[in-house]
Structure 1
Amino acid sequence: MEIIARVTADAEVKTLQSDKQVVNFNVAINDSYKPKGSSEATKITTYVQCAYWVNANIAQYLKKGTLVELQGRIGVNAWNNAQGEPKAAITFHVNSIKLHGTPKYTSDSTAVAVPIAASELKEPLDDLPF
């Protein structure tokens, strides 16, 4: 499965007892639809918890506001909270991450996505399909 979304907070790296590291981060997927018989679009946002096990060094680039393209598989976590109420969350087990921009913080500390310049890319550009 593939999703494109924005990171909602800076990623965190957790080290397990086995010394294996996982990068945990959350993303928001924005979508809209027009209900039948309505002229106005309804906007919805879906929040997804993500886990990336391949390389913990990516965490430094997963900052709030970064636009990312993620590939992996989706899952659901279900549990009962301290009050005994059932809770659930969508999780995404990420296999690969493509960054589509890095956040740039303005003077008021809000993140603005800035595209990565072609000169900063380390991959050859001659294999593009267009």
Structure 2
Amino acid sequence: MNKILLIGRLVRDPEVIKTNEGKMFSKFTIAINNYKGSKEKTVDYVPVITFSKTSEYASKYLKKGMLVSLVGRISTGNYETKDGEKKYYIDVIANEVQILSSASKKEIKEA
């Protein structure tokens, strides 16, 4: 089973991309705070891709700084650079996105 649930803040507005076939998808990144102990905080930046209706929703309603939850699956892959170096990537393919809170000016600066 490949299913993931994440909650985080949008780092920037979603980027909408149209394929040569006329299909639309959107890409965005969410920041997820992780706390280690009482003071140390790290942040994970997770790339997210949405398709079809979820992409339409994301492009229309999601904005930088918003707190969102999403349900989807992990997608991995690799490619080779022009220099012959192999690169690996991990994306989350979200099929459900829900806005949990809007972004205040303070939250936008911190995202």
Coarse TM-score class (shorter-chain normalised): 0.7 to 0.9
1:58-92 C-alpha deviation (Å, 9 max, x unpaired): 31322111100000001223333344444333200
| Separation in 2, partners of 1:86, 1:46 | 23
Structure 1 unpaired stretches of 5+? 35-39, 113-130
* Percent identity for Structure 1 against Structure 2: 28
Counterpart of 1:53 (choices 51, 54, 79) is 51
| Separation in 2, partners of 1:30, 1:53 | 26
Instruction: Show the counterpart of 2:69.
Output: 69
1:59 aligns to what SS in structure 2? helix
In structure 1, what residue type is equivalent to 2:58? I
More strand by share: 2
Cα distance change of structure 1 residues 84 and 15 upon mapping to structure 2, 3 Å threshold:
same
2:70–2:97 contact (8 Å) kept in structure 1: yes
| Separation in 2, partners of 1:42, 1:86 | 33
| Separation in 1, partners of 2:103, 2:82 | 36
* TM-score normalised over the length of structure 1: 0.68
| Separation in 2, partners of 1:17, 1:98 | 29
Cα distance change of structure 1 residues 98 and 42 upon mapping to structure 2, 3 Å threshold:
same
| Separation in 1, partners of 2:104, 2:82 | 39
Larger Rg: 1
Instruction: Show the counterpart of 1:94.
Output: 94
Highest RCO, 1 vs 2 (Cα 8 Å, sep ≥ 6): 2
Root-mean-square deviation over aligned CA pairs: 2.4
Instruction: Show the counterpart of 2:24.
Output: 21
| Separation in 1, partners of 2:42, 2:77 | 21
1:26-81 C-alpha deviation (Å, 9 max, x unpaired): 111111123xxxxx643221111111113224313221111000000012233333
Aligned length: 105
* TM-score normalised over the length of structure 2: 0.78
